[in-house]
Chain A
Amino acid sequence: MTSQTETTATATTAPVSALSLARTTATAARVLRQLRHDPRTIALLLLIPCLMLVLLRYVFDASPRTFDNIGASLLGIFPLITMFLVTSIATLRERTSGTLERLLAMPLGKADLIAGYALAFGTLAIVQSALATGLAVWFLGLDVTGSPWLLLLVALLDALLGTALGLFVSAFAASEFQAVQFMPAVIFPQLLLCGLFTPRSDMHPALEAVSDVLPMSYAVDGMNEVLHHTDMTTTFVRDVLIVAGCAVLVLALGAATLRRRTA
């Protein structure tokens, strides 16, 4: 690295690379710092999944098997939904407040910004999932055959997928109202088709085919694999790879929606 002196001429040598670790972590730290000024959002993010699991536990008071199935699926779905919402609003605000334009006029790579967001919300998702998983497994009697760590891994990937989807759709939302409406548009169909309500094999063949290409199906599938098997099955590995692959793909699509030059 060239050392920076106070003269303006050396400013030209400052590196402008596609992905800089320092800029990524600075962005992640900034996003988390913004959240820290909003403790209510943090509390809602962390507590609501736990409260829903408690609720679910007593809704299925008489049939613990049903709680196992739905509870495990929800452990994967919660992080996806919450991170989707938080990211789509956060990036929409970044676009409308002009800070995105400012950042892209500065030496920040698009990948820095996206990776920064993914890192920040991924961290938050780990805390959220750890709390929800811990509560479900140790206090609500969720019966997991496999390792709870694998549940946590799937939950984290789901959170990244939610972050990616949120980032992507925020490009198509002109207001917070629209951004929030993308939640039912993008998430609800996946929720209905992911196998949470009825096994996917019982659906109309056309819907089953659709569910085969929706990432949430694999997220729920992965959770159920951990629920029923002691070790990592090939299906589990496939599920994890598909969810991770989708997250990366959608993140790349999200990066394509960030334009340095706008009309």
Chain B
Amino acid sequence: MVNYSPEPAEAPGSTALPPAVEARGVEVTRGSRTVLRGLDFTVPRGQITGLLGPSGCGKSTLMRSVVGTQAKVTGTLNVLGRPAGHPTLRTRIGYVTQAPSVYSDLTIRQNLDYFGSVLDPTRASADRRADTERVLGEVDLTSHADALAGNLSGGQRSRVSLAVALLGTPELLVLDEPTVGLDPVLRRDLWHLFHSLAADRGATLLISSHVMDEAERCHRLLLMRDGRILADDSPEALRTRTGSETVEAAFLHLVDEAAAHARAKETAR
């Protein structure tokens, strides 16, 4: 296991700006089920925050809440200094859903052109074209630009979806499992891209994954389980605190600790 601990990039003037995401007592119910149970956390600006946990633990619901597409969110959830879902945030957040949401009957370039014009129709078309070419390069799909999205492989299609989110240089990128199903080389390249987005552009990234080895690549981690946050720390601090070799071991340690805690409470009653 390679211990890859990146240096957190200090966003210029980060002290003056409110955190990228600030949650206090955030709860979400879906039907009769409580999916998120009173979450408190902050996501600092200009860094990569990993959202990790088993599938079904509420990662996607949390991301949808941050983006403002989740209904029935209670508590305080501020994103880039505004309440989540505020109309002015729509141009400032790039969002990638788990399933690639692009038009399969359009080419990659046509997809990007359309989403680009929705994002900012006042921009000169030359600027928009340049933006399209830039994001095509960033996700390494320039050579496929005129292929129909429907004819691409699953991994390629999810990169098109990522490219859409990169249009217009958003301040906050919310990426729901962006590297799932990609080969190791591509995964490494994407993580390089994520790091350069944070370091060079000062972008904030909130990236979910259920693959624990990706955790080592994040500046900060939010470990989730059953709609609660188990830990909110840097990967290094997590490993030290739990005396574990890897984040995965740290996660298991925390899960066991929480279970023991619950049992102790149960017997005390």
Asked whether A30 lies within 8 Å of B69 as measured between CB atoms, the reply is no
Shortest CB distance A23–B (Å): 5
A244 to B122, CA, bound (A): 32
Shortest CB distance A242–B (Å): 34
1/0 per residue, CB under 8 A from B, across A28-64: the answer is 0110011001100000000000000000000000000
* Contact status of A4 and B127, CB under 8 A, knowing A16-B87, A16-B90, A16-B91: yes
A26 to B95, CA, bound (A): 21
Question: Does B2 have its Cβ within 8 Å of any Cβ on chain A?
Answer: no
Shortest CB distance A42–B (Å): 12
* Contact status of A26 and B121, CB under 8 A, knowing A37-B148, A261-B71: yes
Asked whether B123 lies within 8 Å of A4 as measured between CB atoms, the reply is yes
Select which of A29, A106, A259 is within 8 A of B115 by beta carbon.
A106
Question: Does B99 have its Cβ within 8 Å of any Cβ on chain A?
Answer: yes
Chain B hits for A22, CB < 8 A = 117, 121-122
Residue among A37, A105, A260 with most chain B CB within 10 A: A105
Asked whether A260 lies within 8 Å of B91 as measured between CB atoms, the reply is no
How many residue pairs between the two chains, A and B, have CB atoms under 8 Å in the bound complex?
Answer: 118
Select which of B31, B85, B99, B201 is within 8 A of A263 by beta carbon.
B31
Of A68-76, A96-104, A196-204, A217-225, the one with at least 4 CB within 8 A of chain B: A96-104
Chain A hits for B105, CB < 8 A = 34, 37-38
Asked whether B91 lies within 8 Å of A12 as measured between CB atoms, the reply is yes
1/0 per residue, CB under 8 A from B, across A225-263: the answer is 000000000000000000000000000000000011111
Asked whether A101 lies within 8 Å of B87 as measured between CB atoms, the reply is no
Chain A hits for B168, CB < 8 A = 11
Question: Does B104 have its Cβ within 8 Å of any Cβ on chain A?
Answer: yes
Chain A hits for B69, CB < 8 A = 101, 104-105, 260-262
A262 to B102, CA, bound (A): 19
A57 to B81, CA, bound (A): 67
Contact count band on B: 35 or more
Shortest CB distance A6–B (Å): 7
Question: Does A205 have its Cβ within 8 Å of any Cβ on chain B?
Answer: no
* Contact status of A107 and B118, CB under 8 A, knowing A12-B91, A30-B103, A101-B97: yes
A91 to B192, CA, bound (A): 37
Majority DSSP secondary structure for residues of B touching A = loop
Select which of B72, B88, B102, B203 is within 8 A of A16 by beta carbon.
B88
A173 to B269, CA, bound (A): 49
Chain A hits for B114, CB < 8 A = 26-27, 29-30, 33
Contact count band on A: 35 or more
Residues of A11-26 at the interface with B, using a CB-CB cut-off of 8 Å, are 11-12, 14-16, 20, 22-23, 26
Asked whether A106 lies within 8 Å of B71 as measured between CB atoms, the reply is no
Chain B hits for A104, CB < 8 A = 69
Select which of A4, A112, A259 is within 8 A of B120 by beta carbon.
A4
Question: Does B186 have its Cβ within 8 Å of any Cβ on chain A?
Answer: no
Question: Does A185 have its Cβ within 8 Å of any Cβ on chain B?
Answer: no
A202 to B115, CA, bound (A): 53
A105 to B95, CA, bound (A): 8
A101 to B92, CA, bound (A): 16
Question: Does B119 have its Cβ within 8 Å of any Cβ on chain A?
Answer: yes
A263 to B73, CA, bound (A): 10
Shortest CB distance A181–B (Å): 24
A218 to B92, CA, bound (A): 47
Asked whether B106 lies within 8 Å of A34 as measured between CB atoms, the reply is yes
A16 to B68, CA, bound (A): 15
Chain B hits for A20, CB < 8 A = 121
Asked whether A263 lies within 8 Å of B30 as measured between CB atoms, the reply is yes
Asked whether B123 lies within 8 Å of A11 as measured between CB atoms, the reply is no
Question: Does A108 have its Cβ within 8 Å of any Cβ on chain B?
Answer: yes
Select which of B31, B101, B110, B121 is within 8 A of A102 by beta carbon.
B101
Question: Does A206 have its Cβ within 8 Å of any Cβ on chain B?
Answer: no
Chain B hits for A37, CB < 8 A = 105-106, 148
Closest A residue, CB atoms, query B98: A98
* Contact status of A8 and B92, CB under 8 A, knowing A26-B117, A105-B69: yes
Chain B hits for A102, CB < 8 A = 95, 97, 101, 115, 164
A107 to B95, CA, bound (A): 13
Q: Please name 20 pairs of A and B residues whose Cβ atoms are closer than 8 Å in the assembled complex, sorted by A.
A: A1-B122, A6-B169, A8-B92, A12-B91, A14-B120, A16-B91, A27-B114, A30-B106, A30-B110, A30-B114, A97-B99, A105-B67, A105-B68, A105-B90, A106-B118, A112-B118, A260-B85, A262-B69, A263-B30, A263-B31
Q: Mark A residues whose CB is within 8 Å of B.
A: 1, 4, 6, 8, 11-12, 14-16, 20, 22-23, 26-27, 29-30, 33-34, 37-38, 97-99, 101-108, 112, 259-263
13 further A-B contacts with Cβ under 8 Å, apart from A4-B122, A102-B164, A261-B69, are A8-B171, A12-B88, A12-B91, A14-B120, A20-B121, A22-B117, A30-B103, A33-B114, A99-B101, A101-B69, A102-B95, A107-B120, A260-B68
